[in-house]
Structure 1
Amino acid sequence: MPLEIIIAPALANTPHGFLGRSGGVSTGIVNGLNTGLGSSDSPEAVTENRRRATEAVAPGSLLTTVYQTHSADAVTVTAPFPDDARPHADALVTDRPGLLLGIVTADCAPILLSDIEAGVVGATHAGWKGALNGVTDAAIAAMEKLGARRERIAAAIGPCIARASYEVDDAFRLRFAETDPATECFFADGRRSGHFQFDLEAYVTHRLATAGIKRIEALGLDTYSQPDRFFSFRRATHAGEPDYGRQISLIAVA
């Protein structure tokens, strides 16, 4: 199966791509293009999958990723980090040509950002916790320190778990309501009493817009409901599987 690269028109002039699970060498329950260093997959398979993804999106670039912890921390990248010395963060930005920023996800929202005029890009991993605590704000601020201007930044939100697939309890909803009562609109009544369906993609879009980002593209792709196309932590958990794969989202300075 060929490798799939999903392109966002909002980032048309910036080398980038949201990748799914097709086109890789991993086997078993993580079969396909598993790029997760934290999975139990063969390190050789993950390395080859990352090489394939890099060459498909920005041939000859040096891939750099972080150790993701669902934080609101952003780092500025000037050179690739060794895989065993990745900083703990959930957003990374750069203005250096030749570097390829990567974020891995398996239901959380990958967000790619670009100020084409300034030559500054960013990649952000936004699960509910990072999104609530402001990881997108941190990424935008870090880009501005490199010369980007938020009114020029374009953002694209890649494949993530959709509202129809994301059931949460009332305690989860209250975390958001206590921060901002206006977040009520991102929760719909759930199928069970006391439960709700959370729209992560819409919430992330809201956070970006509130921060002053004017061009935002949400791809509307649900990781949970498309097992042949995307990895999903929640789907793997519901299936009782002991591990899950991660897809990668990539962006580089033009």
Structure 2
Amino acid sequence: MTIAPFRARALVAVPHGFLGRRGGVSTGVCAGLNVGLGADDDPQAVRTNRRLAAEAVMPGAALVTVHQVHSADAVHAVAAWPDDARPHADALVADRPGLVLGILTADCAPVLFADAQAGVIGAAHAGWKGALTGVVDATVAAMERLGADRSRIAAAVGPCIARKSYEVDESFLRRFAAAAPENERFFSLGRAGHHQFDLEGFVVARLAAAGLSRIEALGQDTYSQPDSFYSYRRATHREEPTYGRQISLIALPA
């Protein structure tokens, strides 16, 4: 099956793509374009999928990823790290061609950034914890250290779990409200004692609060589209033994 990345109009100036599970060589419960080294999948299939994904966005570029830990840490990438030496972080930035930055997700929000004029790009893994503790702000700050200007940075939020699919409990809402009372607007009432959380909307708001004015949200729900995306929560609800991860990629033109 052909790999067909989702594109964002906001990032048209740079090579990029939000990939789902379509395409790839994995089989079984991770069938498709699983790029997660931590999934219970054939390691060779995962490596092949990673190569295919990178080639679909920027042929010949070196794929750079980090060991994601739901932090607010951003690192500067100058070359691809070996798999066993990837830094623990949840965002990465670069200012040189030849690299394609990759963020893995399975319900969390992938965010891609670019200041095309400065030649600086970024990619962030924004799960609820990283989004709340500042991974978006850390990425923008790291890009500015490389010469970007937040007034020029464009950002796009890729496929992630949607409000309708993201049920949380009362303590989850209280954690966000304690950080800022206005965060309650990202929650709507669900069944008794529960709420529905708008992760995508929250990330968009954090981008705007960081001073970005060109922001796009793709509006794709990972949970409700099993043929198109991997989803940790869906796999958990189905009691599946493992789950795949999709990748979002951005590069600078050569």
Provide the TM-score with structure 2 as the length reference. 0.99
2-structure distance, mates of 1:233, 1:187 = 21
Counterpart code for 2:148: A
Secondary structure in 2 matching 1:54? helix
- After superposition, residues 119-158 of structure 1 pair within 5 angstroms as 119-158=119-158
- After superposition, residues 163-178 of structure 1 pair within 5 angstroms as 163-178=163-178
Q: Which residue in 2 is equivalent to 1:182?
A: 182
- After superposition, residues 108-119 of structure 1 pair within 5 angstroms as 108-119=108-119
Deviation at 1:153?
Answer: 0.2
Q: Which residue in 1 is equivalent to 2:34?
A: 34
Counterpart code for 2:122: G
- After superposition, residues 16-165 of structure 1 pair within 5 angstroms as 16-165=16-165
- Kindly provide the CA deviation profile for residues 75-108 of structure 1, in whole angstroms up to 9, marking residues without a partner as x: 0001111111100000000001100000000000
Deviation at 1:221?
Answer: 0.2
Report the count of equivalent residues. 253
Deviation at 1:4?
Answer: 1.9
Deviation at 1:73?
Answer: 0.4
Counterpart code for 2:195: F
2-structure distance, mates of 1:253, 1:136 = 20
1-structure distance, mates of 2:97, 2:83 = 20
Counterpart code for 2:151: E
Is residue 231 from structure 1 mapped to residue 227 from structure 2 by the alignment? no
Aligned-residue CA RMSD (Å): 0.5
Structure 1: 5+ residue runs without aligned partners? Answer: none
Counterpart code for 2:235: A
- After superposition, residues 199-238 of structure 1 pair within 5 angstroms as 199-238=198-237
Counterpart code for 2:201: A
Secondary structure in 1 matching 2:24? coil
Secondary structure in 2 matching 1:5? coil
Secondary structure in 2 matching 1:93? strand
Structure 2: 5+ residue runs without aligned partners? Answer: none
Counterpart code for 2:221: D
- Kindly provide the CA deviation profile for residues 147-195 of structure 1, in whole angstroms up to 9, marking residues without a partner as x: 00001000000000000000000000000000000001000001x1110
Is residue 250 from structure 1 mapped to residue 249 from structure 2 by the alignment? yes
Deviation at 1:223?
Answer: 0.1
Deviation at 1:57?
Answer: 0.3
